[in-house]
Chains A and B, each alone.
Chain A
Amino acid sequence: MTNPSGLGTLQQLALLAVARLGREAFGNAIRGEIRRQTGRDMAVSTIYVTLVRLEEQGLASSELADAEPGAGGRGKRFFRVTPAGWTALRTARAELDGMWEGVEPA
């Protein structure tokens, strides 16, 4: 699970989903995005565990948005990739790309 970039697969997926979604990156949307792109259906709490861990490591940050009138009055928590998160993502990608070089199957 641990590699030099410090990111697990799940963490990478979650960070990338957050990045792809931009201002729309909240829990269910992140889960939906991962399902759409990879077909993985993950438990709600798995996503949250990943996000909370990312936040603790300073790779993502979150803020509570104002309550919307239509969403049952509850505030939603939006996630964002921090600069450290971007660095970790890039490192992970560079590592993988490096490793993939030369082994690309025909």
Chain B
Amino acid sequence: MTTPPPARPLLALVRALLGSPWGEEVAAEFEAEAAARGAGGGWRRLAATLWLLRQVVHPDTLRLAWLVRASRAGCRGALHPAGTPRLDRTPTPEALVQDVRFALRSLFRSRAHAAFAIGTLALGLGAATSVLSAIQSTLLRPLPYEGADRMVALWRPYGAAFLAPDPEQVRVWREQEDIFEQLEWVGVRGLTLTGVGEPTRLTVGLVRPSIHDLVGRHPTRGRTFTDEEVRGEGARVLLVTHGFWRGRLGADPGVVGRTLTLEGEPWTIVGVLPRGAVFPSAFAPQTDAWAPFSEAREELGGSVVGRLRAGVTLEQAQARLDAIAAGAAADGDRQAMWAGKALSLVDSYGANVREALRVLAAAVLLLLALTCVNVTGLLVGRAYRRRHEHAIRAALGAGRRRLVRMQLLESLLLAAFGAAGGFAIALGLLEGVSRLRPDSLDVLDTVRPDGAVVAAVALVAVLVGLATGFLPALQATRPGGLESLRSGSRTDGTGRGRSRGRWVLVATQVAVSFALVVASTIALRTLIQLQRDEVGFDAEGLLAIQASLPRWKYADEVGRASILRRMEDRIASLPGVAGTTRASGVPPTHGITFGAVEVEGLGPIEGTTMFFGTEVDASYFRLLGQPIVAGRGFTREEVAEGAPVRILGEGAARRLFGDADPVGRRMRIESGTWRTIVGVAADVAMTGPMWSDATLQLYGPVAGGASWGVFGIRVREGASEGGVLRRARAVLLEEEPDLLIEDAAPVAALMRASLARERFVTALLAGFSGLALLLAAVGLFGVVSHAVGERTRELGIRLALGATRAQVQRLILGGGALAAGAGVATGVALAFGGLRLLDSQVVGLSDADPASYLLSGVLVLAVTMAACHVPARRAGRVDPVESLRAE
């Protein structure tokens, strides 16, 4: 039994609140009860956390804290039996309630001010809640399993790559029972499902029956696999996941015993997995079904996942794997065969979002800090304006503690309202994120603030409340307060020095927001440019349909070639179709070839070269509108024969041959067949981060008998793309009902989709920079307003001595402009250095781009000056007589 992680700060809070020895004792009771309630994991743990939260925030906890502290202070009998207080030093619950009421009234009196502070806090805390939720559900608790933090994946490292472990190796690993509690073979297969609607590709997880012990989830219907079904080649039996059962199988109650056709063979469903049975592999947590991991499969390879014994660390497990490898090497075996690498399974999840989340977490911390600074500024200003009130209160007998407490209560209440608003903002934000996110980040869909996040944000809100209330509270009890009452003046001469710090803070805010605005401007410009880029071919009106023939029906190449030809002919004769081609891919999905390149007469080229390209039909370049700049395209005969010919992209031709003519020369890759270069094609854009530098492009003739390929379709001008796509699909399925059709879409849409990640990061950056700019504007507004308030008397004198209102306004605006200008200047340096850190997330972010800097500078200055304008106008309206009159 373990205590849920968020419980720890709560228990620490209880301990601190109650002090020794009561704190430990009550915390221990909380802990014991929470652990008992949370036993069983999952929902129970969440419920236990919520229970604990309720217990900790229970009014009686506060009451208890007061009681035990009073009794410790030697005030035994401090109470009448009924509980009336005799102590002045510690607040009674009744006095606290009174103070809360008073604070609420006081906040309500200055509604605009409070709304401003709450809005600022809501923005900061909302951003914090969303990012915390994302971190919690992707990095901290991605696996809904008991003991998920002890789950590991074991691999055989080979250079930088990880290979499937050797069966013999796994047998030895299994014997290390003091290290591993359980080790399981798992694998993933893609199998084509036919006979239930249109053919689709299922992601099938391969498992042994003992997997249920590892994941703690057993089938809700039917049974799991038997040991018999794992023997040899393995039986064709399936466990379907809850989602697949509900979706594709229509929640069929009689599903157990039903047969599905996978790759043309009958598979029997023996059971249904419960919701939340996540496949324990970082590669494919989203599976449709599970099938037996057969003995024969061990030789083919898979991966090994398992759980460490309680108390065993990842380092200890790794040390054991290393020792085994070293022992094997000593016995004369090749060490590479025996090397092992243990990775934390939790760490492997969300690896693709971790970097982005780190950046976001840093941005959120920054935002939260800015929020605190701003709200502190607002409250300090308010406390300053209320110094008379405080002085009167003090004079009437309110103790320092009471004054401090009231100020802290106000800021805590503001933080509480802010947190509530922030929570609403976070819910909206997460909804937006799961709509915007790229497909590859589907892990973000599961992000919801859970009990732990709520507790953490509540804690953060309390800290923010205390942090923002601290300075104003000090100010409220400043001994100078009484002085101000006596002189009745609105300025006591100490303001200028103190507020210098605030000007610096506000300039810093402007600097940070400028850097963020520059980042999002560059990201946006890059994105627009990537979308507008000359793609090198005519993507408008071009469709792509990727299809796989059912392998079990078409064993021979001749049969495959003839049906593919028939399919292409039928598509070509459809209304609205201007032409067709066939290839192994169209942009942005190209194949990759890499290896050591050798050019005849030039010798081998240094290092490994990576080419992007596809195998294409004779009609390919004409259909795509991709110009052949030298030589010629492939002939039909060359394609039909699979002749040893190649076409280079322009960039590749330049790289390999410089200015020389490559046509007629021969090249080979990894000492393969020598192939003649017959032409050079214009380079095409391959968008997406991975492809952006890929200027080396290579084309070969498409194999007629491939079982997998892409039909390229040129739509006639004026015809509907959607209509052609629909008709083409229908025709393909008519020819072969078991044809698996993936990615059937306009090429322009595919190109756009390949930029989804950039678009996502850009949207996030834009959101953050907008927020930061808003906060900076709010901060500047606060500081300038405060300055106007402080200098009212001085401004009155200036006006009385003949200064015009415009001059006074310029004076105030000038101060704001100075801070904003200094901020932008610092921001330029900050952006220049800091953006390199973000470079891995957005292509081209670190490029010096004067236009983006200029644009951001204008935007930031415009917004900040607008924020200064309101208080400056107020300064211009100061009535000299009123401001100089003694109070």
A residues whose Cβ falls under 8 Å from a Cβ of B: 1-2, 6, 27-28, 43-46, 48-49, 52-53, 56-57, 64, 71-72, 74-77
What distance in Å separates the Cβ of A93 from its nearest Cβ neighbour in chain B? 18
A1, B28: Cβ atoms closer than 8 Å = no
Q: Could you list some 10 contacts between A and B, CB below 8 A?
A: A1-B82, A28-B32, A28-B33, A43-B60, A45-B55, A46-B60, A48-B22, A49-B64, A53-B83, A76-B25
A6 vs B83: C-alpha distance when bound (angstroms)? 11
Nearest B residue to A74 via CB reads B28
A1 vs B82: C-alpha distance when bound (angstroms)? 8
- Chain B residue contacts of A2, Cβ below 8 A: 81-82
The B interface is mostly helix, strand or loop, or mixed, namely: helix
A93 vs B30: C-alpha distance when bound (angstroms)? 33
A77 vs B64: C-alpha distance when bound (angstroms)? 15
- Chain B residue contacts of A1, Cβ below 8 A: 82
Which of B72-80, B681-689, B842-850 is near enough to bind chain A? B72-80
- Chain B residue contacts of A46, Cβ below 8 A: 58, 60
Within 8 A of A (CB), among B29-73: 29-30, 32-33, 54-55, 58, 60-61, 63-64, 67-68, 71
For this complex, into which size category does the number of interface residues on chain B fall?
20 to 34
A48, B26: Cβ atoms closer than 8 Å = yes
A27, B64: Cβ atoms closer than 8 Å = no
Within 8 A of A (CB), among B78-108: 78-79, 81-83
B29, A28: Cβ atoms closer than 8 Å = yes
Given A48-B26, A72-B28, A53-B55 contact (CB < 8 Å): no
Given A2-B81, A6-B81, A45-B25 contact (CB < 8 Å): no
B29, A53: Cβ atoms closer than 8 Å = no
Nearest A residue to B14 via CB reads A45
Max chain B CB contacts within 10 Å: which of A1, A45, A46? A45
B21 at the interface (CB under 8 A from A): yes
What distance in Å separates the Cβ of B75 from its nearest Cβ neighbour in chain A? 10
**CB < 8 Å neighbour of A64 from B21, B60, B68, B76:** B21
- Chain A residue contacts of B82, Cβ below 8 A: 1-2
A44 vs B61: C-alpha distance when bound (angstroms)? 8
B55, A43: Cβ atoms closer than 8 Å = yes
What distance in Å separates the Cβ of B84 from its nearest Cβ neighbour in chain A? 11
What distance in Å separates the Cβ of B489 from its nearest Cβ neighbour in chain A? 49
Given A2-B81, A28-B33, A45-B58, A53-B67 contact (CB < 8 Å): yes
A48 vs B82: C-alpha distance when bound (angstroms)? 16
A43, B58: Cβ atoms closer than 8 Å = yes
A27 vs B23: C-alpha distance when bound (angstroms)? 13
B25, A27: Cβ atoms closer than 8 Å = yes
A49 vs B58: C-alpha distance when bound (angstroms)? 12
A44, B33: Cβ atoms closer than 8 Å = yes
A74, B24: Cβ atoms closer than 8 Å = yes
A52 vs B22: C-alpha distance when bound (angstroms)? 10
**CB < 8 Å neighbour of A45 from B28, B32, B61:** B61
A45 vs B27: C-alpha distance when bound (angstroms)? 10
- Chain A residue contacts of B60, Cβ below 8 A: 43, 45-46, 48-49
**CB < 8 Å neighbour of A52 from B28, B54, B64, B81:** B64
- Chain B residue contacts of A53, Cβ below 8 A: 67, 79, 83
Nearest B residue to A46 via CB reads B60
A-B contact count (CB 8 A): 64
A57, B25: Cβ atoms closer than 8 Å = no
Given A44-B33, A44-B55, A52-B67 contact (CB < 8 Å): yes
Instruction: Known A-B contacts: A43-B55, A43-B58, A46-B58. Give 11 more (CB < 8 A).
Output: A27-B25, A44-B55, A45-B26, A45-B55, A45-B64, A46-B60, A49-B67, A52-B71, A56-B78, A75-B21, A76-B25
Nearest A residue to B21 via CB reads A64
A48 vs B83: C-alpha distance when bound (angstroms)? 14
Nearest A residue to B71 via CB reads A56
A52, B32: Cβ atoms closer than 8 Å = no
- Chain B residue contacts of A77, Cβ below 8 A: 21, 25
- Chain A residue contacts of B28, Cβ below 8 A: 71-72, 74
What distance in Å separates the Cβ of A95 from its nearest Cβ neighbour in chain B? 16
- Chain B residue contacts of A56, Cβ below 8 A: 67, 71, 76-79
- Chain B residue contacts of A71, Cβ below 8 A: 28
What distance in Å separates the Cβ of B31 from its nearest Cβ neighbour in chain A? 8
Max chain A CB contacts within 10 Å: which of B22, B32, B64, B67? B64
A45 vs B32: C-alpha distance when bound (angstroms)? 14
**CB < 8 Å neighbour of A48 from B32, B64, B77:** B64
- Chain A residue contacts of B61, Cβ below 8 A: 43, 45
B63, A49: Cβ atoms closer than 8 Å = yes
A72 vs B83: C-alpha distance when bound (angstroms)? 34
**CB < 8 Å neighbour of B63 from A44, A45, A74, A75:** A45
- Chain A residue contacts of B71, Cβ below 8 A: 52, 56
Nearest B residue to A42 via CB reads B60
- Chain B residue contacts of A76, Cβ below 8 A: 25
A27, B78: Cβ atoms closer than 8 Å = no
- Chain B residue contacts of A49, Cβ below 8 A: 60, 63-64, 67
* 5 tightest A-B CB contacts, nearest first: A45-B61, A45-B60, A46-B60, A43-B58, A45-B64
A38 vs B21: C-alpha distance when bound (angstroms)? 30
B29, A52: Cβ atoms closer than 8 Å = no
What distance in Å separates the Cβ of B82 from its nearest Cβ neighbour in chain A? 5
- Chain A residue contacts of B33, Cβ below 8 A: 28, 44
- Chain A residue contacts of B55, Cβ below 8 A: 43-45
Max chain B CB contacts within 10 Å: which of A49, A71, A72? A49
A44, B29: Cβ atoms closer than 8 Å = yes
A74, B67: Cβ atoms closer than 8 Å = no
A56 vs B71: C-alpha distance when bound (angstroms)? 8
What distance in Å separates the Cβ of B294 from its nearest Cβ neighbour in chain A? 47
- Chain B residue contacts of A57, Cβ below 8 A: 79, 81
What distance in Å separates the Cβ of B58 from its nearest Cβ neighbour in chain A? 4
A64 vs B20: C-alpha distance when bound (angstroms)? 12
B26, A44: Cβ atoms closer than 8 Å = yes
What distance in Å separates the Cβ of B32 from its nearest Cβ neighbour in chain A? 6
A47 vs B580: C-alpha distance when bound (angstroms)? 80
What distance in Å separates the Cβ of B379 from its nearest Cβ neighbour in chain A? 31
**CB < 8 Å neighbour of B25 from A6, A43, A74:** A74
A16 vs B749: C-alpha distance when bound (angstroms)? 75
A56 vs B32: C-alpha distance when bound (angstroms)? 27
- Chain A residue contacts of B32, Cβ below 8 A: 28
What distance in Å separates the Cβ of B19 from its nearest Cβ neighbour in chain A? 13
Nearest A residue to B77 via CB reads A56
A74 vs B61: C-alpha distance when bound (angstroms)? 21
Max chain A CB contacts within 10 Å: which of B22, B76, B81? B81
Nearest A residue to B54 via CB reads A43
- Chain B residue contacts of A64, Cβ below 8 A: 21
What distance in Å separates the Cβ of B332 from its nearest Cβ neighbour in chain A? 51
Nearest A residue to B58 via CB reads A43
A48 vs B58: C-alpha distance when bound (angstroms)? 12
Within 8 A of A (CB), among B235-266: none
- Chain A residue contacts of B68, Cβ below 8 A: 52
Nearest A residue to B30 via CB reads A44
What distance in Å separates the Cβ of A70 from its nearest Cβ neighbour in chain B? 12
- Chain A residue contacts of B81, Cβ below 8 A: 2, 6, 57
What distance in Å separates the Cβ of A106 from its nearest Cβ neighbour in chain B? 36
Nearest B residue to A43 via CB reads B58
Nearest A residue to B78 via CB reads A56
- Chain B residue contacts of A74, Cβ below 8 A: 24-25, 28
Nearest A residue to B33 via CB reads A28
A44 vs B56: C-alpha distance when bound (angstroms)? 9
- Chain A residue contacts of B78, Cβ below 8 A: 56
What distance in Å separates the Cβ of A10 from its nearest Cβ neighbour in chain B? 11
- Chain A residue contacts of B22, Cβ below 8 A: 48
A72 vs B31: C-alpha distance when bound (angstroms)? 11
A52 vs B68: C-alpha distance when bound (angstroms)? 7
Nearest B residue to A32 via CB reads B33
A13 vs B79: C-alpha distance when bound (angstroms)? 20
A9 vs B692: C-alpha distance when bound (angstroms)? 76
- Chain B residue contacts of A75, Cβ below 8 A: 21, 25
A56 vs B30: C-alpha distance when bound (angstroms)? 23
Max chain A CB contacts within 10 Å: which of B54, B60, B78? B60
